[in-house]
A and B are shown apart, each in its own frame.
Chain A
Amino acid sequence: MSDAVTMKMTLPKIPDIELVALEGLDRLARHLGIADAKIAEARIIVTEAIVNALEHSATEAPEVAVEYTMTPTELSIHVRDNGRGFAPEEVEEPDIRSKLGTPNKRGWGLKLMKSMSDDFHIVSDGSGTTITIRKLLR
């Protein structure tokens, strides 16, 4: 892990703030000589994680803490919000067929993060939710 570089940031809830996190991800990848295509899926994962976290963060002083650790072959992502938490096991997996004909077309974040990650963990309690993701950079 000697090649590992770490970046930490705390993001307030302002429009498109997730793009700042993506800029950081791009910079780390460039520093390590990782091709843009190899982090393309990671960019979607990070976007979903931050958009999801900010949506469920506290109503007063909402913020999300993001931490990356990147090596030439692997990316670790931690995203923590300061919301009231939820029961991840009670979240129904979305399905396109059940979305058609209903007003709620949203709710894809968790499914996308799980499906695009090589390892996915979520811990949630009354003080917030932490998502830990491992993504191999193939």
Chain B
Amino acid sequence: MEQPFSLTSEVRDGTLIIATSGYVNNVGGEAIAAEFARHFAGGVRRVVINLGGSKVVNSVGMSFLIEIIERLQEAGGKLVFTNLDPAVEKMLSIMGLFQFAGKAPTVDGALGEFAASGGTP
């Protein structure tokens, strides 16, 4: 059985890294959005969401991530997804999220892209 949702976060070189574990449903999506909002209010504009610990997600949970993309776009920031299960990656692709967000195999890969681009991969 999929584990209950939890998340951890850290800020590394000005980039917020949120790592999830367990089922990302409406509660999980809302928790990710709340964690993002807290750091966004403090000026963070680069965000990495590591979904490697979440093999099950639903579209209600993912819809909260559209809100994150929207706010980052308005502020000139960017979101990058990492460690995606292939099925979850396909889901996000069908939803069109990669038109406005990036993806990288790992968190370090995402941070490297941010650094190479001087801020936005």
Contact = CB atoms under 8 A, between A and B. Distances in A.
B55 A19 contact: no
Given A40-B85, A40-B86, A96 B96 contact: yes
A99 B1 contact: no
Interface string A61-101: 00000000000000000000000000000000011110111
Interface residues of B, number: 30
A4 B94 CA distance: 30
A37 B2 CA distance: 15
Interface string B77-97: 000000001111011001111
B94 A51 contact: no
A51 B58 contact: yes
Given A105-B64, A116-B91, A116-B94, A48 B58 contact: yes
Interface string A7-27: 000000000101100110000
A40 B89 CA distance: 11
A44 interface: yes
Contact of A109 (B2, B59, B64, B70): B59
A31 interface: no
B114 interface: no
Contact of A100 (B55, B70, B90): B70
A96 B90 contact: no
Contacts of B97: 96
B100 A44 contact: no
B93 to A, nearest CB: 9
Contact of A101 (B1, B25, B57, B70): B70
B87 A43 contact: yes
Contacts of A108: 59, 62-63, 94-95
Interface of B: 1-2, 23, 25, 55-60, 62-64, 66-67, 69-70, 73, 85-88, 90-91, 94-97, 99-100
Closest 6 CB pairs of A and B: A96-B96, A40-B87, A108-B59, A105-B63, A105-B66, A41-B87
